[in-house]
């Protein structure tokens, strides 16, 4: 029975069903599936930790990461099936399957890059692509993705701030719409947003339930999750990563879009102190790092103060 249970998981069609159960971006699902297919074409036994480990050493880091994630899904599914099938008569066999699954999850090692990851900023054409042709606003998922990018690029939100944003946090102050956001250290800040972003939000949803979450999952049938079901931070990461691949930006992260928000504002002439407040930074120095700026030691404001 152990052999039969393990053999079932190794089939490509079964892996496709595993992927279907996960809330993954289309590009991410494709990359996971592609690595599984390539491994099978190379004759790799995806349920043999040693075989998987040997094969992984031949791959570049980017592909190795996708294979590791895909194998982890297989291992998790294998464990779940073993637990569901366990009886007093086969408990030892099911335990053996779970041990094998654990070995699979630890079979691929991706060496962490040394030093700090280079900061990424998008240019205006890349930002426009994310907010227009790359996201299909005629579908629920495409519109949701466009709103995700709208809030990351048009309000500079952190990932946690995005998934925790509620419809009631969108306010009107005078002629301007603002977001009331609670960020790191439970610090509240007000972020003015453009009419274009407000219009985009209006196409996505409304304030029927002020306590409802703005960003929510969309299933394959196009059904949007209930207002009280926020999307996970990992799902946001997957969305940004998937569209980053389409832009040719490997490992694009939500924080890169936050940096882009700051950089576009700075290039447009917005005062760095204002940018710092909008980002919720504790110091201007942090904002300077976001912008990739160095302090000018040759010239400073103090030089122009008439002390004598």
Closest alpha carbon to 18 in 76, 100, 95, 85: 76
Q: What is the pLDDT of residue 101?
A: 81
Cα torsion through 195, 196, 202, 204, rounded to 10 = -150
The gap between the terminal CA atoms of the chain, to the nearest Å, is 91
Where residue 19 falls among pLDDT bands split at 50, 70, 90?
Answer: confident
Q: Which residue has the higher pLDDT, 213 or 293?
A: 213
CA nearest neighbour of 11 among 38, 30, 36? 36
User: In this structure, what token pair is assigned to residue 288?
Assistant: 């300077």
User: Rounded mean pLDDT of 1-28?
Assistant: 61
Q: What is the average pLDDT across 164-193?
A: 90
Instruction: Report the range of poorest mean pLDDT among 79-88, 160-169, 180-189.
Output: 79-88
Those residues with Cβ within 8 angstroms of residue 202's Cβ, 6 or more apart along the chain or in another chain? none
Is residue 119's pLDDT more than 80? Answer: no
pLDDT at residue 297 is higher than 60:
no
Write down the pLDDT at residue 62: 72
Which pLDDT score is estimated for 175?
87
Between CA 107 and CA 204 the distance in angstroms is 42
The answer to which of 35-39, 74-78, 279-283 has the lowest mean pLDDT is: 74-78
- Banded pLDDT at 32 (limits 50, 70, 90): confident
The overall average pLDDT reported for the chain is: 83
Query: Would you please indicate which residues are annotated as catalytic (active-site) residues?
Result: 158, 184, 255, 258, 281, 290
Q: Give the highest mean pLDDT range of 35-39, 58-62, 255-259.
A: 255-259
Averaged pLDDT for residues 203-212: 84
Q: Quick check: 258 pLDDT over 90? A: yes
Tens of pLDDT along 47-67?
A: 888 888 888 888 887 788 888
Question: Which are the contacts of 106, defined by CB distance < 8 A and separation ≥ 6?
Answer: 49
Average pLDDT over residues 112-130: 75
Query: φ, ψ for residue 177 (rounded to 5)?
Result: -85, 145
Task: Kindly give, in sequence order, each residue whose CB lies less than 8 Å from that of residue 96, ignoring residues fewer than 6 positions away.
Answer: 2
pTM over 0.75: no
> At residue 230, does pLDDT exceed 50?
yes
Provide the percentage of residues in the chain whose pLDDT is more than 70.
Answer: 86
Instruction: Identify the band that residue 253 occupies on the pLDDT scale cut at 50, 70 and 90.
Output: very high
Average the pLDDT over 234-257 and give the result: 89
Q: Which residues pair with 172 in a beta bridge?
A: 177
Residue-level pLDDT at 239: 92
pLDDT at 6 over 60: no
Q: Using pLDDT thresholds of 50, 70 and 90, give the confidence band for residue 243.
A: very high
Q: In the predicted model, what is the mean pLDDT of residues 250-264? A: 90
Confidence of residue 284 (pLDDT cuts 50, 70, 90): confident
Q: Region 146-164: what's the mean pLDDT?
A: 94
Query: What pLDDT, on the 0 to 100 scale, is given for residue 216?
Result: 93
For the cut 70, the answer to whether the pLDDT of residue 7 exceeds it is no
Q: In what order do the strands lie in the sheet with 176-182?
A: 170-173, 176-182, 188-193
């Amino acid at each position: 029975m152990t052999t039969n249970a393990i053999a079932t998981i190794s089939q490509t069609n079964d892996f496709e069903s595993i992927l279907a159960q996960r809330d993954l971006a289309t590009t991410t699902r494709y990359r996971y599936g592609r690595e599984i297919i390539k491994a099978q074409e190379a004759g790799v036994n995806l349920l043999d930790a040693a075989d998987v480990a040997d094969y992984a050493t031949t791959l570049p880091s980017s592909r190795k990461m996708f294979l590791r994630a895909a194998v982890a899904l297989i291992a998790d599914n294998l464990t779940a099936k073993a637990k569901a099938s366990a009886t007093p008569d086969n408990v030892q066999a099911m335990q053996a399957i779970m041990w094998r699954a654990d070995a699979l999850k630890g079979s691929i090692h991706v060496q962490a890059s040394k030093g700090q990851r280079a900061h990424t900023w998008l240019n205006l054409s890349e930002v426009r692509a994310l907010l227009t042709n790359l996201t299909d606003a005629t579908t629920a998922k495409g519109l949701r993705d466009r709103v995700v990018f709208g809030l990351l690029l048009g309000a500079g939100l952190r990932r946690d701030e995005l998934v925790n944003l509620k419809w009631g946090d969108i306010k009107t102050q005078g002629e301007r719409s603002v977001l009331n956001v609670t960020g790191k250290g439970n610090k509240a800040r007000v972020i003015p947003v453009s009419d274009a972003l407000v219009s985009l939000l209006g196409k996505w949803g409304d304030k029927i339930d002020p306590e409802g979450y703005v960003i929510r999952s969309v299933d394959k049938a196009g059904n949007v999750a209930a207002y009280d079901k926020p999307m996970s931070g990992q799902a946001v990461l997957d969305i940004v990563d998937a569209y980053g691949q389409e832009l040719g930006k490997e490992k694009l992260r939500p924080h890169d879009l936050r940096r882009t928000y700051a950089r576009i504002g700075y290039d447009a002439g917005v005062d760095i102190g204002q940018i710092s407040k909008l980002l919720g930074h504790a110091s201007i120095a942090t904002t300077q790092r976001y912008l990739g700026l160095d302090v000018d030691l040759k010239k400073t404001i103090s030089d122009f103060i008439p002390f004598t």
